[in-house]
Structure formats: C-alpha cells, structure tokens
Structure 1
Amino acid sequence: MSSQPTGPPARRGDVGRLVRGAARLLAAACLAVDAYVHADLADQYDGISASISQGNLFRIEAALAALAAVLVLVWRRLPGDLFATAVAAGGLALLLVYRYVDVGELGPVPNMYEPIWFDEKEATAVAQAVAVVAMVYLLLVRPRGRH
C-alpha cells in the first residue's frame, strides 16, 4: 500500500512567484532604507562641495533609490529592474570607494572621502548589498514571456 499526499500538489510556478514576490519586497525595502538614510543625512553634507554639494548628491541618491523602490514594486518590468539594480550597485560601489580610497575632487563632484564606518553608513551598505542580491536574483529568474 503506497501513501498518497492528502493535499493538492504545490506547483513550482506558485513557489517561484512567491519567492520572486519576496525578493521584490526585500529589494524595495532595502532601496527605501537607502533613500531614507541619504535624505536624512543630506543636510549634514551640504558644506562639502565643488560645483555640487555632497548633500545634493545625497538628495539625488535618495530620489533615485525611492524611484527604484517604487518601480520594483509597481512596474515589475526589465527596465525598472535594471534601473533598481544599477542604483543599488552604483550606490554601494561609490560608498565603498569613498570609504577606502581618497579619490579627491572630480570635476563638479567634491572630495567625498570618509574613511570611517558609522551606523547609517553601515545600514546603507547592508541595504544596498541586499538589494543588489535580490535584484540580481530577479534578473536571473525572470518569468517566461516577460520582457
């Protein structure tokens, strides 16, 4: 006598949809953290400037991260996912570069070298890294027929 499952079989598509949905929520939440921290810290960096202040660059990052979070949740299309990945990866790359390398002033961009870690910087780095991982997952496991 063989044992038969009593409930309906789980469909692989349902599980995949749930995992993709969780990845979207996670990525959007992490992008929201990125947006919040940059917006919150922007006024503290207004004094660091060349043609543009570091505070304004933080405001731009906050706006881009907020837009990316909305696109990940609402639009769910390849261009929005690529944009969100670029925002998270670019933000993380710049954070790490300016943490470890004294690049100096680059044209209109001020010298943003800050060789320390503090709570907000750590939270942003972790959020951006998790967003990158979630977005790369979403880019690699796109549902068939969606472009």
Structure 2
Amino acid sequence: MSLDPTCPDTPHRRLRSVARLLAAAGLAADAYLHAYLADRYDAVSATVSQGTLFRIEAAVAALGALLVLVWRRLLAEAFAWTVAASGLAALLLYRYVEVGELGPLPNMYEPVWFTDKNLVVIAQVLTLLAATLLLLTHRCRRRPA
C-alpha cells in the first residue's frame, strides 16, 4: 500500500494530538456552558424555547467532543468545526442583530456580554482554531497500490 502522492504524509502527530485535545476541550466547555445556562432561557420561547436550543447545542457539542477524540476521521474533524462555527455565528448574530422570531425559533436577541457568554466564545474560537488545524493537516487515506 502506498500513500496518494497528491496528499503527502503529515509527520505532525503530536501537534494533531494536541489540536484534537484542544478541540475536544473547547466542545466540552461549550456543551457544559450551554447545559448550565439552558434553564435560564426556557422562558424565551416561540414554538421551540431558547433553553431547548441550548440543550440541543450542548448535546451536539458533547457528541462532537466525543467524535473528535474517539473517531479520528475527517468527518469528525469537520463536524467539530461545524458545531463551533455555527454556534459562534449564532451567538454573534443574536448579540449584534435583532433578528426577531424566525419560524419556530424565538427572538434570541441579547445585546450584552457576560462571563458565561464570553467563555462560550472562547471555547468556540478555541475549537475552531484546533479543528481548522486538524482539517488542514489531515492525512490522506491509504489506498491499494
């Protein structure tokens, strides 16, 4: 078996291991903070409450942390990146733009910064950076010669 010559072998195993741990830690912090804050946002509701959305975010982030640690595949790294990017995009959107209700989603506009929100941003940015590194240094699969 040989590696595809268009995608050279990446010898940065330690760097990838550290990036994998940082991505998982960022997603775990994201999951914890969203689960912790969920009950405070149950009253913000349309068809779906903001608390329910926070619980969904917590579950998806926890799954992402598990996948990036255990299932070392490009898809897991892309999933981790997507979870962090979408969470950060939503947080910044609802921080700076009063979107109002969108279909079943409540009006989640909250134009303030507070400690827990800052920690979520840090966790998501950390995950984005680490997952980006994982994606950029992903090794090619071996294929038959």
* TM-score normalised by length of structure 2: 0.89
Q: Which letter maps to 1:133?
A: L
What residue in structure 1 maps to residue 90 of structure 2?
94
Q: Secondary structure at the match of 2:123?
A: helix
Work out whether 1:46 is the aligned partner of 2:42.
yes
Shift, 1:144, TM fit:
3.2
Shift, 1:105, TM fit:
0.3
Check the 8 A contact 1:23/1:134 in 2, yes or no: yes
CA RMSD in angstroms comes to 1.4
Higher relative CO (Cα under 8 Å, sequence separation at least 6) belongs to: 2
Q: Which letter maps to 1:29?
A: A
What residue in structure 2 maps to residue 24 of structure 1?
20
What residue in structure 2 maps to residue 81 of structure 1?
77
Work out whether 1:144 is the aligned partner of 2:140.
yes
Q: Deviations over 1:67-122 (max 9, x none)?
A: 00000000011111111110000000000000000000000000000000000000
For 1:37, which of 19, 28, 33 is the aligned residue?
Answer: 33
* TM-score normalised by length of structure 1: 0.88
Aligned residues: 134
Check the 8 A contact 1:77/1:146 in 2, yes or no: no
Larger Rg: 1
